[in-house]
Chain A
Amino acid sequence: MFIPEASNSARYVDAAFLVIVGISVALLAGVTSVMLFLIFRYKRRRGTKAEQVEGGTALEIIWTVIPVVLVLVMFVIGERSFRLIRSAPREIMTIRVDARQWSWMFGYDNGRQSDQLRVPLGKPVKLRLSSRDVLHSFYVPAFRIKEDCVPGMETYLWFTPQQQGSFDIFCTEYCGLGHSGMLAKVVVMPEKEFDEWYAGAGAKGNRGLQLLLEKGCLGCHTTDGTLKVGPTFKGIYGRTVTVVTSGKERTITVDGDYLKRSVLDPGADIVKGFPPVMPKIPVTPEELDAIEDYLEHLR
């Protein structure tokens, strides 16, 4: 296949894919070769005339019934594998998937949160999907699974990862400006390693960074200097930037006050060259201090 087959559902999907593509290719080859044959066999030549054939009921019945049978076979193949892919076992670890413009967050039962989906190898996992704002869709090509994240309701997916490694997660429902940057990774780790990470000390990490993650800031702003929808946080403190304040440009040096204002009133000063799309995200004064403290030291 074109990409790794890294889950149980990938196997079901690929098996169905081979059968259906096989039938399709055979049909296409048949139709095309008959067409080409007839063109050359009955090419217009001097002295030959068309022989009028009105059609035939028997043929019409044959080429209606055979396709009906074929498509029903395809339907059953698809429906059976679909049922397997949708039927989650009862005893299963669940992880909450929280989608928002334009980042993913994964929440575990013990309160641990992560911007990567970490899962143990060989253990079935159920994802409970939801969205904080608009439609998103959670897609892991290597697992062949996908389901929309719909605001106001919960949807689900489940899978058993069967290959260790790190696999791409994409958003496949268009969700606005940063849609194509709404990526994450599934990290499939050996069970023991996963357990250590799951229970791990320092799970909370830096409070400021944790907040940036939870509030979805890292969907648009990076901490490593690369550019996404918004300016990067790396070295932001003390940087000189040109901002647009109610239609007028001015140059400022980023300080704590500016950072706080940008969170509380994102539309007030827009850094030149960036779109005015940042939403107001509720924060407490204590959280805001933690974020500012983190950014001040992010070099």
Chain B
Amino acid sequence: MPAESMTTSERSYLQEGGRFKGVFSWIFTTDHKRIGILYLASIFTFFSIGVIIGLLMRLNLIEPGRFISERTYNSLFTVHGVIQIFLFIIPGIPASFGNFFLPIHLGARDVAFPRLNIFSWWLYISGGALVILSIFLPGGAPDTGWTFYAPYSIRTTSNVSLAASGIFIVGFSSILTGLNFVTTIHRLRAPGMTWFRMPLFIWSLYATAWTQILATPVLAITLLLLILERSFGIGFFEPLKGGDPIMFEHLFWMYSHPAVYIMILPAMGVVSEIFPVFSRKNIFGYKAVAFSSLGIAFFGYLVWGHHMFTSGMSDISRVIFSLITFLVAVPSGVKVFNWIATMYKGSVRVDSPLLFCLAFIFLFSIAGLTGLIIGTLSLNLYLHGTYFIVGHFHYTMFGGAGFGFFAGLHYWFPKMFGRMFNERAAKIAWLIMFIGFNILYFSMFLLGLQGMPRRYFQYLPQFRMNHILSTVGSWILAAGLLIMFGNLIRALFRGEKAPANPWGGSTLEWTLPSPPGRENFRETPVVRGGPYTFE
């Protein structure tokens, strides 16, 4: 890695807005760093809305009907899913940290298509606005569940078409971002930045970007067919008109399963960055970690049927999908082993970014192992459609992707904003969140084993204990989130000035001042070694 540090008093990207002033210097920017911050702010907003909706759902479940009506509850879980998946986790890490750090990691000045990049954000915001609008317009918020299963989604009078249009538009944002990243990685690597000298975060974004490009069109088509069917009664999925509801499930999961990897792979990339830095050691098995990303992305296309083990599709297809599902678990396991082995003979310092990574490994391991349980054909007959699925899913998406996101947020915060947060408060927030998380979601496994179906506004008395436990967990988790975000927001204004390299990282972003200048590198860096070289 180049050692020449840049400590001149150059104006940072936060001060240098380009042609426009004020808010326009943000929404019309083409600077990948500013776009990353735009995404970060929008994602944070949508995430907060999603969390509040989640808390309302948990509130209903301590005493169904007391606070929230049945109709409202059905909309809440639909909108919660739509927001958290399409507007938070899928864009999450790639669009915020990816935009900010991908060009810097490669030694480039920007992404390959900067204007397409800001256009992607506009699409994302417009689509997100439509989704939010669908909650408030007459007709009522969508009440189908985030999966929009036909024929119910065709027959309901709620604003399904509007929400689906929103997701359709957000999908294009995702495709264009993927296209931008793939091109940037292929074309804009600095001299000496060979494929195997790229940081592993880039490898994970590369695998993710291909999935975004190749899988998202399937979602777009599916939603378009749904909208056409709702508007003109065409009969793609409505059995009364010769349509096939199971075909909708196939189309939907053909995207939405690979999308799970769009959500988790970038988080794995973040974790792969943090382990070496806090162990002062090269990553264990660089190529294994890099290729396992590609392996996950590839096998991820072939397992969508495991969402449909009880859908009525043929038994032989269930057997095949189960087999491939088990195999896709292996590359994830390989990653976990390599991260842990990275600490071997290292010099480990447990700062907040690493703490979030350790939580990631623990929670993601539970997610993966419960995934094996529900990937087992016979067990799926028992647990599909119950709270076990909800628990598994949140361990993957929140415990995995979410905690990975928080890890990245703490790791890169000093670089992005030039300020340090309070480390002690970050650790306290982490502990509270970790405890709250496990109470909230582990009780869902127990509910699932008891047979409690998901998407139930009310329930039989035998489920009450675990529901109360879970709701209490949601309050603890929310308290932890408040402390964490409070700490970071406070640091934005009052934090100590961050040095260029507070964690002793060895990738290119740490050679730049915090926050970086508008053009990233004044001179294009020349790369002479691997990404994780510690003296």
A interface residues with partner B (beta carbon < 8 Å): 1-3, 9, 12-13, 16-17, 20-21, 24-25, 27-28, 31-32, 34-35, 38-39, 42-45, 48-56, 59-60, 63-64, 67-68, 71-72, 74-75, 77-79, 81-82, 85-86, 133-135, 137, 139, 141-142, 144-148, 150-153, 155, 168, 170-181, 183, 229, 275
Contact = CB atoms under 8 A, between A and B. Distances in A.
Given A39-B350, A53-B281, A71-B329, A13 B379 contact: yes
B315 interface: yes
A50 B451 contact: no
A148 B381 contact: no
A44 B340 contact: no
A137 B245 CA distance: 13
Contacts of B458: 180-181
A13 B349 CA distance: 44
B326 A24 contact: no
Nearest to A87: B315
Interface in B435-471: 446, 449-451, 453-460
Contact of A174 (B71, B144, B283, B319): B144
B460 to A, nearest CB: 7
Nearest to B289: A55
Contacts of B373: 17, 20-21, 24
A13 B381 contact: yes
Contacts of B379: 13, 16-17, 20, 78
A185 to B, nearest CB: 11
Given A20-B372, A24-B369, A134-B155, A148 B350 contact: no
B322 interface: yes
A35 to B, nearest CB: 5
Contacts of A82: 315, 318-319, 322, 377-378, 381
Nearest to B276: A50
Given A44-B348, A68-B330, A137-B385, A79 B377 contact: yes
Nearest to B447: A2
Given A2-B451, A74-B376, A78-B376, 5 more contacts: A1-B449, A16-B378, A42-B345, A71-B326, A141-B386
17 contacts: A2-B446, A2-B449, A9-B378, A17-B382, A27-B369, A28-B365, A44-B349, A48-B347, A49-B280, A64-B330, A67-B334, A77-B376, A82-B322, A150-B245, A150-B246, A176-B143, A177-B143
B245 A152 contact: yes
B338 interface: yes
Main SS class of interface, B: helix
A60 B341 CA distance: 11
Given A31-B361, A71-B330, A55 B345 contact: no
Contact of A146 (B366, B369, B381, B457): B381
A42 B327 contact: no
Interface stretch (B145-153, B222-230, B255-263, B409-417): B145-153
A39 B156 contact: no
A148 B312 contact: yes
Given A44-B348, A48-B347, A71-B329, A60 B451 contact: no
Contacts, number: 259
Contacts of A72: 326
A145 B381 contact: yes
Interface of B: 70-71, 74, 143-145, 149, 151-152, 155-156, 239-240, 244-246, 279-286, 288, 310-312, 315, 318-319, 322-323, 326-327, 329-330, 333-334, 336-338, 340-341, 343-350, 358, 361-362, 365-366, 369-370, 372-373, 375-382, 384-386, 446, 449-451, 453-460, 534
Interface-central residue, B240, B322, B337, B458, by most chain A CB under 10 Å: B337
A177 B376 contact: no
Contacts of A59: 285, 337, 341
A67 B310 contact: no
A196 B379 CA distance: 36
A52 B349 CA distance: 16
A176 B319 CA distance: 30
A74 B323 CA distance: 9
Contacts of B350: 39, 43
Contact of B340 (A38, A86, A172): A38
A137 B145 CA distance: 15
B347 A50 contact: yes
Contact of B245 (A32, A34, A135, A147): A135
A39 B341 CA distance: 11
B372 A275 contact: no
Nearest to B340: A35
A173 B150 CA distance: 11
Contacts of B534: 50, 52
Contacts of B318: 82
B74 A31 contact: no
Contacts of B338: 55, 60
Given A27-B365, A275-B71, A137 B152 contact: no
Contact of A151 (B245, B337, B449): B245
Given A67-B329, A139-B385, A50 B376 contact: no
Nearest to B280: A50
Given A32-B365, A180-B459, A137 B310 contact: yes
A20 B369 CA distance: 9
Contacts of A133: 151, 155
Contacts of A148: 310-312
B2 to A, nearest CB: 19
Contact of B358 (A24, A35, A155): A35
B152 A38 contact: no
B282 A176 contact: no
A75 to B, nearest CB: 5
Contact of A85 (B151, B378, B384): B378
A147 B315 CA distance: 12
Q: Most B CB atoms within 10 A — which of A17, A21, A43, A180?
A: A180
A290 B143 CA distance: 35
A55 B347 contact: no
Contacts of B329: 67, 71
Contact of A24 (B372, B378, B451): B372
Contacts of A17: 373, 379, 382
A56 B337 CA distance: 12
Contacts of A147: 310, 312, 381
A135 B378 contact: no
Contacts of B362: 32, 35
B457 to A, nearest CB: 4
